Structure 1
Amino acid sequence: MDEKKIKREFILLNVGRAVHHADWNWKNIHSPFTRIHFIESGSAKIVREDHSYTLKEGHLYLTPPHTKHSYSCTGKLSLYYIHIYETLGKQLSIFDILDFPVEIKADELIIFLIKRLAAINPKLELQAYDPKDYDNSPTLIKNISQQTHTPPALEMETEGILKQILSRFLTGAADRNLDLDERILKAIHYIHSNMDKPIKIEELAQASCLTTDHFIRLFRKQMHCTPRKYINQKKIEQAQLMLLVKHISIKELAYQLGFENISYFNRLFKKIAGENPGKMQHNRSPLRLK
């Protein structure tokens, strides 16, 4: 595991404690944010497309960004929630590089740090628990803007706590690209380093020292999708996060991600993200904060 390649910065969006009474039941959550839950008492389930995880007291659970999942709770549940996002950059997400464990047992220090994180960031507590509300509301923009007004000492402490928490998951993480052909891995890094440009398959094949047809076959075999589908998926994931954390027009967003045709970008965004970028931008616009 190359330590230089996995160093990332994370921004805290939400943190707090919640008590639910069979009302933590949200379906088909698909978000550009990373979610961490600490189960204080009770039980529930996180249901992913591949598996259902029963949540246990005294354990932490990690849900990476862009992981479609649902919550199921039939009784009383007390938990702490932490929502974060990875800072934008021209590199693979840490979640593209590593497979993190879903569940880890919390120790006394981590429990203390989670409670401390909530205590020093009281304004980041959720006002509504439906992900469709807090992932799509002006409150999100407000929380992001509040990060710039945090006293330096508390900002540094917050960053330190987040790293402590993530380090526990990192201990059990595994390199997800160990079995990838070096030529395909090189192409993936090329894609992420050139998100702001139109990317041609022929360029990727040439960079991989393969014919275009051979490259497409090998990429599909290794990544279980075509190169074009992978490129589009990663660009739209980047677009979703940019809409949330930057004040940017749809036209400028498309151009910054290498799309020359705005109509095509809009269609692709809706196909992958499930809604038009204009609707997402309207829901989250800082101008609606009154």
Structure 2
Amino acid sequence: MLGEKHQLEFTLLNIGYAEHHADWNWKDINSPFARIHLITKGTAKIHRGGKTYVLRENHVYLTPSYTPHSYECDGDFSLYYIHIYEKLEKKSSIFDLMHFPVEIQSDDLLNQLIERLKAINPKRELSIYDPKSYDNSSELIKNIAFQNTTPIALEFESQGIIKVLLARFYAFTEPKTKQADARVLRVLDYIHTNIHSAISIDKLAEISFLTKDHLIRSFKKQLNCTPGKYINRKKIEKAQLIMLLENPSIQELSYKLGFENVSYFNRLFKKLTGENPSAYKRRLAHHTDSR
């Protein structure tokens, strides 16, 4: 399923080691980057998807990008944290394609690799642990720019370590479209490639060689939502990322993502994120200015 057009490339944003004392309690986190945690001492909880997972010592945890979640900790708790940003351009995210496990058992090799990743990437630690203080435009751009100054040998090594970590999780993945035939996969690929344009159900039916009704039924059965809802969710995720990396007006942003009606874009953004795009931009700016 991951062919040539799905070559994986990641940017390391943060890596560090932290010791917490009942102070790792953050709610409603939803970021454009993925998080990996290696637990070294104590326990905590992560709440996501209506479930609660207990974080245990010597286990590694993965939270994909755009996954709403919360943390809870009521005692001593230590961990390594890694934040990675998947470079996409016009292709599907690996997290769009596959269901990843939340937890895997760590071992000596993984522990050593994570320690090595930290050693070759100094100054990547978080200065403030509140996600609202580092999930902002200034911090993200700074980390991406910092990555571009990394010596190429260390960049190769960092990329290799990140891919080994993800490979351990990938060994236990399942395709999100496990029973999908080539026609539905073609539709998904078209959506991700053309997310900046207006995408009609008629066009999706045409490229899949299915009737609209058949396409909608098949898509909903395999992805638990209609093509229209899937497209809208991916467009709003892209809008959040653009606002982190750039500073477009709301009108520019809506047109950039193929919306002809700015009011509809505003309503959809608020429905899916809980706040309108103007408020989202102000919040990003506030956390950037307050650092």
TM-score between both structures, scaled by the size of structure 2: 0.90
> Are residues 186 and 161 of structure 1, via their aligned partners in 2, closer, same or farther at CA, if it must alter by over 3 Å?
same
State, as a whole percentage, how many aligned pairs show the same letter: 56
Q: Could you tell me which residue of structure 2 aligns to residue 273 of structure 1?
A: 273
The residue aligned with 1:186 is 186
Offset, 1:20? 0.5
Question: Which residue matches 1:220?
Answer: 220
Deviation string 1:171-206 (CA, Å, 9 cap, x unpaired) is 222222221244322222221121121011111112
3-state SS of 2:45 partner: strand
Give the stretch that moved more between structures: 99-108 or 209-218. Answer: 209-218
1:241 counterpart SS class: helix
2:244 counterpart of 1:244:
yes
What letter corresponds to residue 97 of structure 1 in structure 2? Answer: L
Return the offset for 1:3: 4.8
Alignment of 1:141-290 (within 5 A): 141-246=141-246, 248-284=248-284, 288=289
Deviation string 1:127-183 (CA, Å, 9 cap, x unpaired) is 111112211363333222222222323222222221121121122222222212443
Pair 2,33 (structure 1): closer, same or farther in 2 beyond 3 Å: closer
Aligned equivalents of 2:96, 2:256: Cα separation in 1: 22
C-alpha separation between the residues in 2 aligned to 1:51 and 1:190? 32
Q: For 1:187 and 1:272, how far apart are their aligned partners in 2?
A: 22
SS at match of 2:275: coil
Q: Hey, what's the Cα distance between the residues in 2 that align with 1:172 and 1:217?
A: 28
Partner of 1:106: 106
Is the CA contact (8 Å cut-off) linking 2:44 and 2:74 kept in structure 1?
Answer: yes
Question: Which range moves more in the overlay, 119-128 or 255-264?
Answer: 255-264
Instruction: Give the total of aligned pairs.
Output: 290
Query: Does the CA-based 8 Å contact 2:176-2:222 persist in structure 1?
Result: no
In the alignment, the residues of structure 2 paired with residue 134 and residue 214 of structure 1 have an alpha-carbon distance, to the nearest angstrom, of: 44
Q: Which residue number corresponds to residue 116 of structure 2?
A: 116
Unaligned runs of at least 5 residues, structure 2: none
For 2:84 and 2:185, the matched residues in 1 are separated by: 27
Which secondary structure does the structure 1 equivalent of 2:202 belong to? helix
Instruction: Give CA-to-partner distance per residue, 1:78-115, whole Å, 9 cap, x none.
Output: 10100111112222210121121211112222212212
Of stretches 146-155 and 246-255 in structure 1, the one that deviates more from structure 2 is 246-255
Letter in 2 for 1:53: Y
Q: Kindly provide the amino acid, as one letter, of the partner of residue 125 in structure 1.
A: E
Change (3 A) 1:51 1:35: same
Task: Tell me whether 1:26 sits opposite 2:49 in the alignment.
Answer: no
Give me the whole-angstrom Cα distance separating, in 2, the residues matched to 1:94 and 1:29: 20
- AA partner of residue 120 (structure 1): I
Provide the secondary structure at the position in 1 that maps to 2:228. helix
CA–CA distance in structure 1, aligned partners of residues 277 and 158 of structure 2: 31
Deviating 4+ runs (over 6 angstroms): none
Does the 8 Å CA contact 2:177/2:223 hold for their aligned counterparts? no
Aligned mates of 1:50, 1:283 — CA distance in 2:
26
Contact 1:136-1:280 at 8 Å conserved across structures: no
**SS state of the match for residue 177, structure 2?**
coil
Q: What is the TM-score of this pair, normalised by structure 1?
A: 0.90
Which deviates the most, 156-165 or 61-70? Answer: 156-165
Instruction: Check whether the contact 1:43–1:55 (CA below 8 A) recurs between aligned residues.
Output: yes
CA change 1:221–1:172 in 2 (3 A) is: closer
CA contact (8 A) 1:110 1:165 kept: yes
SS of match in other structure, 2:127: coil
Cα contact 1:140–1:284 (8 A) shared by 2: no
